[in-house]
Amino acid sequence: MVNYTLVEYIKKYRSIYPVDKLKSYLVQQGYNEAEVNSAIKVAGGAESSKLKISLTTIFFVLTILVILVLGYYVFTLLTEKGPEISLSLKPSSLGSVEQGSQVFFTSVIDTKVDEEVRVTLVYELLDSSKKVQNTKTQTIDVVRSASISDSLLVPINLNPGDYTMRATINYEGYSQIKSFPVEVKKKKDLPPRIIPERNASLETCQGGCDDFNSCTKDECVKGQCISTNIAPCCGNNICETPLETNLNCVGDCKPKEEASKVEEIKTNAVTSASTNPKESLKKCLQIADAETADNCLFDSYRESPSIDFCRSISNLEKKDACINDYSIKKHDSSACKEIVDDLTRTACLRFV
């Protein structure tokens, strides 16, 4: 027979003390163990204890599962890899470069994915102590691969010697560096222009030696007319700073307004190169300054790879670099034969 006094006692105190403790206490007080067990069963003590253990176990298991899921998610984020960016850097021409000229090169980028990736390229000219002598930065969008032809100016006051052309590609914390050696030579002085002799057998030059150029010194030496360039000289289309400015030689040092107009022509030419290359070529050739016109032609070529732009460049080194780049891109070995420099032409033919 169930002792309901014990049942009420157990129900009252089971929330404070464990059922086992209550059972031990009641047995010590003289109650029969079987009678206590019956009261516990009626009071639901055993089931409550089992239920409590079951909920604790479930909570523990759920906690472990949550920790595992979060750990896997964090591990996936940390190990997820972006595109594998690779960079190669090739000089567009072999041999040395002079002070004040350009180092021409081609950067090839490969991302191995068919989606747009924005990367930053940093070009640097370093001396033997790794000190940066000149630098430029550009940001481009690449889908799988891209080939970029570019150049970096060699400062006119840079000491002759061995240098390093370095390119660094950066993408979301990833970076890769490529480089090649560059030999810088002293800028060559233009040799005196010799006017063909009129009568070498005479000690004097018949008709005189004046070539009507105010920027040359004309002399008759043993029957030959020799003209030597005068520098600085207002009228030679070269702004020889700091002695010449647009105040004392406006012909050589064009005012900012005219320079702005020339820059506008160049910008319009480069912009229209991809849609109307013939009109772009015509605009570049309207520019009087040879160096600016060459830059216009080279930049237009990069927008629309046409060999006509390269052929119109007056600077032989820049012209060779442009034709070399065109030959490689178009796999046209016949174009290599138009290159003047022997080393660059030979390298072009081997590469193509």
110 DSSP β-pair partners: 86, 145
- DSSP at 332: -
Mean pLDDT by groups of 10 residues along the chain of 352 residues = 82 84 85 86 60 66 89 67 76 82 90 86 94 92 87 91 93 88 84 53 62 79 83 78 72 65 88 91 88 89 90 90 89 91 86 78
Whole-number Å distance between alpha carbons of 333 and 347: 11
What pLDDT does 169 receive?
Answer: 92
Residue pair 160/99 in contact by the 8 Å Cβ criterion: yes
Closest CA to 149 of 171, 177, 119, 123: 123
Domain ranges of the chain: 4-79, 86-185, 191-253, 254-352
Residue pair 187/100 in contact by the 8 Å Cβ criterion: yes
List the CATH code of the domain at 86-185: 2.60.40.10
What pLDDT does 50 receive?
Answer: 44
DSSP string over 183-222: EEEPPPPPPPEEEPPS-TTSSS-TT----S-TTEEEEEET
| pTM of the full structure | 0.37
- DSSP at 158: P
The one-letter code for the residue type at 291 is E
Q: Are strands 145-153 and 102-110 parallel, antiparallel or unpaired?
A: antiparallel
What pLDDT does 161 receive?
Answer: 93
What pLDDT does 236 receive?
Answer: 75
Closest CA to 341 of 165, 350, 323: 323
Q: Give the chain's length.
A: 352
Whole-number Å distance between alpha carbons of 86 and 140: 14
Whole-number Å distance between alpha carbons of 345 and 330: 15
